[in-house]
Amino acid sequence: MSSQNTTWIGPLRSEEVTKQIKTAMLGTHAYGNVDEALRAEALRVAVWSLNVLKQNPLRSGTIATTHRVLAYARAMWMPYFEASKELSAQQGEQETDEDAEEVALERDALDILEEQGDVFSLAGGYWLPAPLRLVHLTETFYLLVGGLPTHLLPQTILHSIRVHGGFRQVNVEVPFESLPPSVYVGAWQFQTLNNWLGPSPPSLAQLLQYFHKQELSPVIHQDTSNQPFEAYAASLDKPQALRWVSLENVRDGHFLLRTRTLWGMKLYSIGIVQNNHLVKQSSALHSTDIRRLCYALDHEAGTPTRVVWDRAHYRLVLRSELPARERKQMAAIGNLRVFQKDYYPREWIGIPSQSFHLVDDILNRLGVHLETDNKRY
């Protein structure tokens, strides 16, 4: 039998590159806006591969450290990102540098994936994939949580995967109990919504009390192994990501502080700044929900975060990230609309009217300022 040869003609067009990467990572049947989903998926694949597919568990070169996970994930993400930029340029879209750190794959993206339950972090900067489980969100969807990459799921599941942001949803009609075990999936595990959401958070007032009562010690020598400190200037009427400024740009006062380790992990503390120098500092705030604390400081400063709660169109628009529990709650009742270029605004759409009271509760807890439209916002 004779074989027929074909000639490959390259290079591939940008549309073809993005299509092939989407298919390779999310399968052919996943639907929804996949840009942010691909960032999350690249991290899942990296953590899974470095832990499960390594040949020799004793070789240090195969351990899933933060550095290795990010390097592995970027190798998958960047071809798609660059092809998307080229495609956008061809279509006449203007580039923007806003939120460039969020668009890139940094340590923050791993932290968000951990918050939603897909990976675990260990002391020393190591990562493990979390067990696969299903959270019953609504009458229509389960949330698929865990570190198993999407393309390794059974074909029956791939046909009904729905992605929005870094979350994965599966149609509730999929008969999980009757699915035969596969190479990577044994018996399906289920997690309750309340258990997945986690414990109820402290109020803003409790967080402020905690902030002001932290014991501070004199700073004699600043740790030079980390990057310079930034202070959270809550009085700035800007999105929260833009309220972090260098110590040279703040007045004397009591501040939430952050710095980064050499491997990208953010460390937070509380301190006193005088004459643009840190003179007193608390110990590291390892167990504090920093995003929620920022909302408390905004409220105290009289400059709460601004959001648009558009009931008429069933959508909530934010330019600051929600704390972990509220972000999960929104995933349970709405769909995250992801834009091609910018990380912000975060727009949750399709919120059912019967869930309006849940959104009201979230916004009341965070003390935000409601805008009636997008003009100032």
Q: Are 119 and 47 within 8 A, CB to CB?
A: yes
* pLDDT number for residue 11: 67
Taking only the tens of pLDDT, the chain with its 377 residues reads: 555 676 666 666 666 767 777 777 877 666 656 777 888 999 999 999 999 876 555 454 557 899 899 999 998 888 877 777 776 666 655 554 444 444 568 888 898 899 999 999 988 889 999 999 999 887 788 899 999 999 888 888 888 888 877 888 888 888 887 777 777 887 889 999 999 998 899 999 999 999 999 999 998 876 656 678 999 999 999 999 999 999 999 999 999 999 988 777 789 999 999 999 999 999 999 888 999 999 999 999 999 999 999 999 999 999 899 998 998 999 888 888 766 566 678 889 989 898 899 999 999 999 999 987 655 44
Q: What does the buried/exposed string (b/e) look like for 120-139 if buried means 16 or more CB atoms within 10 Å of the residue's CB?
A: ebeeebbbbbbebbbbebee
Q: Which helix (H) or strand (E) holds 277?
A: strand 277-281
Beta strands 315-318 and 306-310: pairing type?
A: antiparallel
CA 250 to chain centre: 28
Distance CA 374, CA 377 (A): 5
Q: How buried is 148 (Cβ within 10 angstroms: 0-12 exposed, 13-18 middle, 19+ buried)?
A: buried
Q: List the structure tokens of 237.
A: 């009427």
- The dihedrals phi and psi of 366, each to the nearest 5 degrees, come to -95, -5
How is 8-63 classified by DSSP, letter by letter?
---SPPHHHHHHHHHHHHH-SS-BS--HHHHHHHHHHHHHHHHHHS-S-TT-GGGS
